[in-house]
Amino acid sequence: MRVPILFFALSVLALAQDNDPPLKPKPAKEQYTKYEYMIPMRDGVKLYTAVYQPKDMSKKYPILMTRTPYSCQPYGADQFRATLGPSEYTQKAGFLFVYQDVRGRYKSEGKFEQVRPYKPTKSGPMDFDEATDTFDSIDWLLKKLPNHNGRAGLWGISYPGFYSTMGMLDAHPALKAVSPQAPVGDWFIGDDWRHNGAFFLAHAARWMYSNDKDTQANPTEVRKNPEYTSPDGYSLFLKMGTLEEINEQLLKNRVPYWRDLMDHSNYDSFWKDRDVRPHLRNIKPAIMTVGGWFDAEDLFGALETYKKTEANNPGTYNILVMGPWSHGQWANGDGNHLGDVPFHQNTSRWYREHVEFPFFEKLLRDDKPAALAEAIVYETGANQWHHLPAWPPKEAVERTIHLQPDARLGWNPPSRGGFAEYVSDPAKPVPSVPYTANTMTVEYMLDDQRQAATRPDVLVFELPELEEDLTLAGPLDVSLQVSTTGTDSDFVVKLIDVYPNDFPDPVPNPKRVRMGGYQQLVRGEPFRGKFRKSFEKPEPFTPGQMDKISFRMPDVFHTFRRGHKVMIQVQSSWFPLVDRNPQKFVDIAKAKPADFQKATQRVYFGPVGGSGVTVRVLTR
């Protein structure tokens, strides 16, 4: 498990503790004047665009733009946003801040399309996409706005992060800096709605009800969550039963994109056309991709956007920032904890001041890159920043943690074969969180797993107590030998950091959480078994016959401290985060109550061809 200490020689630790009071810029209305425009695109459609121009006209300013499907409210030249730009630091420094409703949303004309596919070949003005809309908007702004310095930047978080990625493609020459933050990458393989084919039910139901609707008819309408009849999502979704019944009872059959999801339950051209990764080539602007290790929505998209851009554009300035954050947590507040887990540092504020602001300030003001490392990544567990020359670190060594008999884990394959088994009952699925919630929570990514570990339908494997720190840096590759008495099944794999029994409770402790023996989720992902050979062409299991499931979980950078334990849990449900697999080979979108059946699941181990998780290990 030893690797050279070169990694730590190259790693420059940054002090994230900021004891100064938070920066409070002047109210936007005192510093800026707002203008509203309808900018024409090449096909004649006009997009609503709000421009906030600094009142001090003695200087020239860079353009800093975000494009959103979530509304540029408030509307009206005398109505101002509470804050401008990506942070308080950019607002104080002064930029020409630009907000735009994307095509077909709110006050913009045209027809909206979810994650509109990129068109690599364009033959005329009617061949538009989000890349051309970004290009045309920047071109118009450069021609019409006074006091700009000829350089533009683009940023966005989550869905606006996707539009930032699109702006990187065939970019306008004036676009010098782009920051896709938690960007959507692929909505079937790893972002938002599906992970390895498994449907993220609680998240999809809430988001689609709130957002997938005609916004042009009433641009000022406030987004609302579904009318949940109970705060207990576990019981609520279980009682409604099938996906068809959830659509009827909760969504009232009013959500068009839900129907698209149900109609495209395999990885067909509908999804492939919306995968941004194949198009991340010939990127000219400088890129800073930002994500959170505990982002419940688009962790996959952030990592994949960085990796594909890096692989396909060797001469492009391309950096990665990964902090200990939930979805977009870096944009607001201090970022000193998430859920029950403290970080003891103001990670979000530090990032905004020392990473994000210099990235845009240097490139857009001085036309030269900031002195930032290739990878600015936070090591959870040890709670410290690292500035690295590459991600994943090249010094990381692949090792496999093998599942063993008697609920053990080991670094070597077991000397004898065997299996562990459990009965998975769709009528009593494993809860995804140890508390009451009716939507996907941001905390689930590091929640306590002790409740799950006590269930008979969850397999638990542990390494002995660690005698020295164990640091993992990079993706996790799962390989399971399994069988089921059904013809389909999900397999959920969770990597867990088990705290010592004498670990101190937080002070103060208003939630009265007990941290001794806490089982913190480090990474967990489901895999829908029928896709084990192909996401395009699912296949049933042969009941009782051993088969192999392999998949990659998103990267981690986590240290299991001395005295902690490494745990792996395996289960076949994670509800209502993930929809229930009937454990019968059917189109789950159309499954009937009679299709849901119990199944006995086996996970096999042995000296050859057993089950385990391959990790990337760093040691001091």
Give domain status of residue 193, yes or no: no
Same domain, 137 and 177: yes
Beta-sheet pairing, 175-181 with 286-292: parallel
HEC string of 350-389?
HHHHHHHHHHHHHHHHHCCCCCCCCEEEEEECCCEEEEEC
Give domain status of residue 535, yes or no: yes
Sign of CA dihedral 201, 206, 209, 210: negative
Looking at the predicted structure, is the pLDDT value of residue 1 above 50? Answer: no
User: Which are the contacts of 235, defined by CB distance < 8 A and separation ≥ 6?
Assistant: none
Looking at 365, 388, 411, the residue that finishes a domain is 388
Looking at 367, 388, 409, the residue that finishes a domain is 388
Same domain, 182 and 318: yes
Looking at the predicted structure, is the pLDDT value of residue 427 above 50? Answer: yes
Rounded to two decimals, the pTM is: 0.95
Give domain status of residue 244, yes or no: yes
Asked if 198 and 528 count as a contact pair (C-beta separation under 8 A), the reply is: yes
Q: Which helix (H) or strand (E) holds 238?
A: helix 233-240
Radius of gyration in angstroms for the set of CA atoms belonging to the chain, rounded to a whole number = 25
Give domain status of residue 506, yes or no: yes
Q: Mean pLDDT across the stretch 511-533?
A: 96
Single-letter code of the amino acid located at 115? V
Give domain status of residue 494, yes or no: yes
Give domain status of residue 290, yes or no: yes
Residue with tokens 């939930």: 326
Give domain status of residue 166, yes or no: yes
pLDDT confidence of 24, banded at 50, 70, 90?
Answer: confident
What pLDDT was estimated at residue 18?
54
Same domain, 66 and 165: yes
**How far apart are alpha carbons 551 and 538 in whole angstroms?**
15
Looking at the predicted structure, is the pLDDT value of residue 349 above 70? Answer: yes
Same domain, 180 and 208: no
Q: Can you read off the two tokens belonging to residue 315?
A: 């001469």
User: Which are the contacts of 169, defined by CB distance < 8 A and separation ≥ 6?
Assistant: 118, 131, 279, 280, 283
Phi/psi for 304 (5° steps) reads -70, -35
Looking at 388, 409, 444, the residue that finishes a domain is 388
User: Which are the contacts of 35, defined by CB distance < 8 A and separation ≥ 6?
Assistant: 50, 51, 53, 77
Burial environment of residue 17 by CB neighbours within 10 A (0 to 12, 13 to 18, 19 or more): exposed
Same domain, 375 and 405: no
Q: What is the DSSP string of 391-449?
A: SS-TT-EEEEEEEETTTEEESS--SS-EEEEEEE-TTSPPBSSSS--SS--GGGGG-B-
For residue 414, give the CATH number of its domain: 2.60.120.260
Same domain, 19 and 127: yes
For residue 253, give the CATH number of its domain: 1.10.3020.10
Cα atoms found within 13 Å of the Cα of residue 601, Cβ hemisphere only: 27
Q: What percent of the chain has pLDDT over 90?
A: 92
Same domain, 23 and 73: yes
Same domain, 428 and 526: yes
Backbone φ/ψ region at 367: left (φ over 0), alpha (ψ -120 to 50), beta: left
| Furthest CA-CA distance within the chain | 78
Looking at the predicted structure, is the pLDDT value of residue 517 above 90? Answer: yes
Q: Can you read off the two tokens belonging to residue 204?
A: 């999809």
Q: Cα 170 vs. chain centroid, distance in angstroms?
A: 25
Alpha-carbon torsion, ordered 331, 335, 340, 344, to 10 deg:
170
pLDDT confidence of 548, banded at 50, 70, 90?
Answer: very high
Same domain, 496 and 544: yes
Same domain, 440 and 577: yes
What pLDDT was estimated at residue 511?
84
Cα atoms found within 13 Å of the Cα of residue 503, Cβ hemisphere only: 20
pLDDT digits (tens, 9 = 90+) for 265-280: 999 999 999 999 999 9
Same domain, 102 and 38: yes
For residue 299, give the CATH number of its domain: 3.40.50.1820
Domain that holds residue 540: 397-618
Residue with tokens 């084990």: 532
What pLDDT was estimated at residue 15?
46
Looking at the predicted structure, is the pLDDT value of residue 16 above 70? Answer: no
Same domain, 28 and 94: yes
Asked if 382 and 469 count as a contact pair (C-beta separation under 8 A), the reply is: yes
What pLDDT was estimated at residue 509?
83
pLDDT digits (tens, 9 = 90+) for 277-295: 999 999 999 999 999 999 9
Give domain status of residue 31, yes or no: yes
Looking at the predicted structure, is the pLDDT value of residue 378 above 80? Answer: yes
Number of domains, the chain:
3
pLDDT confidence of 619, banded at 50, 70, 90?
Answer: confident
